[in-house]
């Protein structure tokens, strides 16, 4: 009784710390502290699990922890910031896969009994499998292994058929007194296939939303399997992750003015970007000297980072340039769109790594009213989130998506590697506007040249 009381009390304390850690992560100022709290709570939960009566295979558990921990530590140390979205995606997928594997093992052992427990085991297995295969596809897209969106001719019909078939097999497992191995295998194959096919057509500005949604799926799957195992720590951690991931997904979908159903069933991708009105005008090129001169003698400059900055690893150069401008009396601010980059908060992480103060970083709602007063809006590798057709062209796939109103600045400078369309394949009308100039080249190289010219103007 005393040992069980200690275990239950420890799990309760861990649950409280998990929630406090998640709360702390809501602010950039306290996020690091929240991560440390949650990590320590997970260590405690793991140690307490070893004390659970009836626990076996300690050698295998320790080996798995050592191998997994070492791999995670190494990958976390060597991963580049530009590769962070795909690492988040694959780690998230591992959580969903682990939840599905727990259910598969429990079914194979025949240790799942009772309608409620079996139902939760099936739901956890289904959601976890979808999260695993979907996250693997997201990883492949972000890593460049899958070069383009892949969409079946009757994509939505296939999605519905696979989902219904998986649910029917899941219901059969719940209703059956003794589950056959063939039924379990068929169920997991359908669930994994559903996740892969559901995610394969998604790209562009929808990708951060999908990563967040798959994260929520993983949390729910872990929570359900925690109930199956009777482990309170898994239940609380899973449900907290599932709930927070669901809220984040809803907030991001709202920021794009796109229902989650549209993200899943009518995604923004190059394959879907054939619509849209013809764009008139031509792109007008700027030199690094021109860009440096315009910004150095401006009163206010708003910098809009995008994935192009991440790919070039230019965030440190961008901050160096911003500091030079501020030393010359220019007011500088950073504008972040909720779905800029390839994962939630991608641009915020990059700017924080470069040392940009939090009070200089503004989200869409905070900064949009400032663009008409800005002398220069500097766009570095962003595309869909600054495309004005989202406001004007009802035939465009991104119509209705809130954007950063950079086109309303007096001057717009766009740093871009080439003249092609962005990740979603949609042509950007901003680049053709009279007040917009293109500075071609890698963001790292282009900003370095601008810095050189700003220093020369100061001399």
Q: Do the Cβ atoms of 437 and 286 come closer than 8 Å? A: yes
Would you give the DSSP letter of residue 363?
E
Q: What is the model's pLDDT at position 274?
A: 47
Q: What is the model's pLDDT at position 167?
A: 93
Whether the model clears a pTM of 0.85, i.e. scores above it, the answer is: no
Q: What is the model's pLDDT at position 421?
A: 57
Q: What is the model's pLDDT at position 420?
A: 59
Which CATH architecture fits 288-458? 3-Layer(aba) Sandwich (3.40)
Q: What is the model's pLDDT at position 272?
A: 43
Query: Measured at the alpha carbon of residue 130, what is the angle toward residues 235 and 347, in degrees to the nearest 5?
Result: 85
Residue 445 exposed, middle or buried by CB count within 10 Å (0-12, 13-18, 19+) = middle
Residue 225 exposed, middle or buried by CB count within 10 Å (0-12, 13-18, 19+) = buried
Q: Do the Cβ atoms of 428 and 398 come closer than 8 Å? A: no
Q: Are strands 411-416 and 376-380 parallel, antiparallel or unpaired?
A: parallel
- If phi over 0 gives left and psi between -120 and 50 gives alpha, with beta otherwise, what is residue 426? beta
- DSSP H stretches of helix in 313-421: 315-327, 346-354, 364-367, 389-392
Residue 300 pairs in a beta bridge with 331
Residue 181 exposed, middle or buried by CB count within 10 Å (0-12, 13-18, 19+) = exposed
Q: What is the model's pLDDT at position 271?
A: 43
Q: What is the model's pLDDT at position 204?
A: 65
Series of mean pLDDT values for 10-residue runs along the chain (459 residues): 77 88 81 89 88 81 90 86 81 92 85 82 93 92 77 84 92 79 89 92 77 90 89 85 87 77 67 54 87 94 91 91 94 90 80 89 92 95 87 81 92 83 70 91 92 87
- DSSP line for 198-244: HHTT--GGGHHHHHHHHHHHHHHHHHHHHHHHT-HHHHHHHHHHHHH
Cα–Cα distance, 211 to 233 (Å, whole number): 24
> Which residues participate in catalysis according to the annotation?
384
Q: What is the model's pLDDT at position 295?
A: 95
């Amino acid at each position: 009784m005393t040992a069980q009381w200690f275990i239950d009390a420890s799990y309760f304390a861990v649950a409280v710390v998990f929630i406090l850690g998640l709360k702390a992560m809501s602010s950039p100022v306290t996020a690091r502290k929240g991560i440390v709290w949650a990590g320590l709570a997970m260590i405690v939960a793991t140690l307490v699990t070893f004390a659970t009566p009836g626990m076996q295979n300690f050698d295998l558990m320790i080996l798995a922890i050592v191998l997994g921990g070492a791999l995670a530590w190494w990958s976390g140390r060597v991963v580049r910031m530009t590769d962070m979205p795909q690492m988040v995606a694959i780690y998230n997928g591992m959580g969903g896969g682990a939840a599905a594997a727990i259910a598969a093992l429990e079914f194979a052992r025949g240790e799942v009994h009772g309608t409620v427990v079996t139902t939760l085991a099936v739901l956890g297995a289904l959601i976890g499998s979808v999260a695993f295969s979907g996250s693997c596809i997201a990883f492949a897209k972000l890593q460049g292994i899958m070069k383009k969106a892949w969409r079946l001719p009757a994509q939505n019909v296939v999605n519905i058929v696979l989902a219904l078939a998986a649910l029917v097999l899941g219901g059969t497992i719940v209703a059956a007194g003794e589950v056959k191995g063939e039924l379990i295998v068929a169920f997991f194959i359908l669930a994994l296939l559903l996740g892969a096919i559901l995610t394969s057509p998604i790209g562009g500005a929808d990708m951060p939303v999908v990563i967040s949604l798959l994260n929520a799926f993983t949390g729910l799957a872990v929570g359900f399997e925690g109930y199956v195992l009777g482990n309170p720590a898994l239940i609380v951690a899973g449900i907290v992750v599932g709930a927070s991931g669901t809220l984040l997904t809803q907030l991001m979908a709202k920021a794009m003015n796109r229902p989650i159903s549209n993200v899943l069933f009518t995604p923004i991708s190059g394959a879907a970007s054939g619509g849209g009105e013809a764009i008139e005008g031509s792109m007008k090129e700027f030199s690094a000297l021109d860009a440096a001169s315009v910004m150095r003698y401006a009163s206010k400059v708003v910098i809009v980072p995008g994935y192009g900055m991440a790919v070039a690893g230019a965030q440190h150069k961008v901050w160096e340039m911003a500091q030079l401008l501020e030393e010359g009396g220019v007011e500088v601010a950073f504008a972040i769109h909720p779905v800029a980059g390839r994962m939630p908060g991608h641009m915020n992480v990059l700017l924080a790594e470069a040392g940009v103060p939090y009070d200089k970083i503004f989200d869409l709602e905070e900064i949009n009213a400032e663009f008409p007063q800005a002398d220069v809006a500097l766009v570095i590798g962003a595309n869909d989130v600054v495309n004005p057709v989202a406001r004007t062209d009802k035939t465009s796939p991104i119509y209705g998506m809130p954007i950063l109103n950079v086109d309303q600045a007096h001057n717009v400078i766009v740093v871009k590697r080439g003249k092609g369309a962005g990740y979603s394949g949609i042509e950007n009308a901003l680049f053709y506007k009279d007040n917009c100039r293109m500075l071609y080249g890698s963001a790292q190289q282009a900003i370095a040249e601008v810095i050189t010219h700003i220093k020369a103007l100061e001399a």
